[in-house]
Amino acid sequence: MQIRLEHLTKRFPNRNKKIKEDVIAVNDFDLTLPDGKLIGLLGPSGCGKSTALNLICGLLEPSSGRIFFDDDDVTSIPAERRGVGLVFQSYALYPHLTVERNIRYPLENLKGDKKLTKEQMKEKVLQAAKLVQIDELLERKPNELSGGQQQRVAIARALVKTPRVLLLDEPLSNLDARLRLQTREEIRRIQKETGITTIFVTHDQDEAMSISDTIIVMNAGVIQQVDKPQDVYDNPVNLFVAKFLGTPAINVFDGKVEDGVLYIGKDAVLKLSGIGNRPVKVGIRPEGFNPEENGPFVCDLDRVEVMCRDISVVSRHEGSETDIIRSIITSEHAKKMKGEKVRFSLKPEKVHIFDKETGERLYFETV
């Protein structure tokens, strides 16, 4: 099912009562989410992504704008009749009910012609339990389950009534690191098997990058970029997106463009066309540095860190926004790392230039 948001906006009164201005948690969302895909809603904490999720599932009413599921306008339909499945960050399993009763609960609430017989319910519960591989645990109470198991029950409960859309709010944040990797594959598998349009909210870029078909990056209530994961990484539309995605993080420098040459500090690092003379922000991905004996970009070498396959060079430069620059190089270059200075040439496709004030991407061609 396709979800269409039209100018969706949610304002809250400011918690600090002295400030009259509302907080805008979701600002003018206008997009269409493709049918049957796994969509990651990514952003730093407090950016309004959970609010967006709650608007879609109907727990919050938008201040303005509309929500469509396919062609149905569901904006004013309350959560209990919207037919969505939601998995909470805390799982919110009903503590007094067994796993089976938990999963069956949404079915018991169906009314009218959707009402199911006992046998049908049993069948559906078992089906959902098998899908998430907890059919052995049906008689247990939630407090007798591990975090991972609780998570699966929550997903089964959300799936059992075959929702039009499945929403997951930070589904992995309460799991330990190993389980997190496993579970995200699981979510991917379940989504592919059921084909239900799924939106999951996360602040963890790895999570979003690894399993989503599409990523929505948002910040401060505003959508920054909607794209395939690799495209968002390779082609960030602004400085925020560039900084938010990628580990190690992108290196940001103050620079300027003068007569077709990009300067960082005194170093003329790149020749380019398409940007006029102006001060800019320069973002360089860690893998964008090539150590080269006569490279134009001269940094003070701090140390070399070896982490498994990667060799990470830590250096300093006066133009850098942060104290250190981190670059990742291949091992054959490692022996060149001697002395006090290190010189790099830059891979142009890993260099992104942004407006110094607005952070908007400035596109260029290499010469």
Partner 1 sequence: MAVQKQNDYETKAERIKAKVGRIFVYFGLFLWALIVLFPFYWMLLSSVKSYAAYNGEFTPKFFTLSPTMQNYLDAFTSVPLGRYLLNTFIFTVLTTGLMLIVIIFAAFAFARLDFKGKDIVFTLFLSLMMIPNELVVITNFVTITNAGLRNTFAGLILPSVTSVFYIYLLRENFAQVPDDIYYAAKVDGTSDFRYLFKMLIPICRPTLVTIIILKVIECWNSYVWPRLITDDQNYFLVSNGIQEIRENGFGRENVPAMMAAVVIISLPLIVLFLIFRKKIMAGVARGGTKG
In whole angstroms, give the CA distance from residue 279 to residue 268: 14
Which span sits near partner 1 by CB under 8 A: 27-35, 89-97, 202-210, 214-222?
Answer: 89-97
Q: For tokens 């645990």, what's the residue?
A: 137
Instruction: Tell me: does residue 96 bind partner 1 (CB under 8 A).
Output: yes
Q: Which stretch binds partner 1 (CB under 8 A): 2-10, 92-100, 204-212, 242-250?
A: 92-100
Nearest to 253 by CA among 333, 365, 344: 344
Q: By CB under 8 A, name the one of 22, 80, 136, 321 that touches partner 1.
A: 80
Nearer to partner 1, 97 or 324 (CB): 97
Q: Which residues of 166-180 are buried (b: 16+ CB within 10 A; e: fewer)?
A: bbbbbbbebbeeebb
Measure the CA dihedral 256/261/264/267, to 10°: -140
- The residue whose two tokens read 């981190």 is 326
Nearer to partner 1 (CB atom), residue 125 or residue 158: 158
Closest Cα partner for 229 from 249, 247, 206? 206
For partner 1, the closer CB: 160 or 239:
160
Candidates 52, 84, 153, 252: give the one binding partner 1 (CB under 8 A): 84
> Which of 134/217 has CB closer to partner 1?
134
Rounded Cα–Cα distance for residues 146 and 230 (Å): 34
Closest CA to 86 of 50, 122, 61: 50
Stretch that binds partner 1, among 102-110, 203-211, 239-247, 335-343 (CB under 8 A): 102-110
Q: Tell whether residue 88 is a contact of partner 1 (CB under 8 A).
A: yes
Nearer to partner 1, 86 or 237 (CB): 86
Encoded one letter per residue, x for contact with partner 1 by CB under 8 A and - for no contact, window 122-161 reads -----------------------------------xx--x
In terms of Cβ atoms closer than 10 Å to its own Cβ (0-12, 13-18, 19+), residue 273 is: exposed
Quick check: 106 binds partner 1 (CB under 8 A)? yes
For the record, the structure tokens of 14 come out as: 């400011």
**Min CB(309)–partner 1 separation in Å:** 41
The reply on whether position 94 binds partner 1 by CB under 8 A is: yes
Asked whether position 201 contacts partner 1 by CB under 8 A, the answer is: no
DSSP 95-164: TTS-HHHHHHHHHHT--GGG---HHHHHHHHHHHHHHTT-TT-TTS-GGGS-HHHHHHHHHHHHHTT--S
Nearer to partner 1, 95 or 339 (CB): 95
State yes or no: residue 57 binds partner 1 (CB under 8 A).
yes
Three-class SS state of 211: helix
Residues forming contacts to partner 1 in the complex (CB under 8 A) are 57-59, 78-82, 84-86, 88-97, 105-106, 109-110, 157-158, 161
